[in-house]
Structure 1
Amino acid sequence: MLDDTERKIYRILHNYSVGRRRFPSMQELMVKTGRSERDITQTLISLEDKLFIIWDDKRQVESIKLLQGWEQQPKSEPIKPPENLDYWTKY
């Protein structure tokens, strides 16, 4: 699972790549997140460690490649019908 900052930056990267067909600059990320360049860099490295992005050239945010479309959700258990269903269907 991603923490809040990772999720926010990842969503910004994803939305920029889909909507504007480019990645945001470091300055744009700083404006959008309200974080410092150091915090954003650490978060991007964390996203790379978790295999959400590939960031070959650490000097340019524009060199990032997204590996996943969005954070994968854990699989949930199938929903079981209530046990007292007979009461509602037979009486």
Structure 2
Amino acid sequence: MLQDIERKVLRIIFNYSLIRRQPPTIDVLCVKTGRDRGGVMTVLEVLAREKYIEWNRSNPEHMVVIEGWERKDEVRWRGR
């Protein structure tokens, strides 16, 4: 399950890429999220590790969305 900031960054990358046909830069993500560069890079690492995006810290401006939405959990709570 993604944290709020991770979900937000994923949606920004997805929508930005869809509209502009290129991924946002790290600077654009910093402005849109209000986070510093280190914070954005950490979020991108989580998204890459969880296989939502293809991204590598050595080439930070290159990112590809694999899944644009958070995955649904397989096991759901069935409370009353």
The TM-score bracket by the shorter chain reads 0.7 to 0.9
Residue 10 of structure 1 aligns to a residue in which SS?
A: helix
Please report the TM-score for the alignment, with normalisation by the length of structure 1.
Answer: 0.74
How far apart in 2 are the matches of 1:47 and 1:14?
Answer: 12
Tell me which residue corresponds to 2:64.
Answer: 65
> Once the 2 structures are TM-superposed, how far is the Cα of residue 72 of structure 1 from its aligned partner?
1.6
Long gaps (5+) in structure 1: 78-91
RMSD: 1.8
Tell me which residue corresponds to 1:28.
Answer: 28
How far apart in 1 are the matches of 2:63 and 2:40?
Answer: 13
Which protein has the larger Cα radius of gyration, Structure 1 or Structure 2?
Answer: 1
CA contact (8 A) 2:11 2:68 kept: no
Residue 22 of structure 2 aligns to a residue in which SS?
A: coil
Percent of residue pairs bearing the same amino acid type:
36
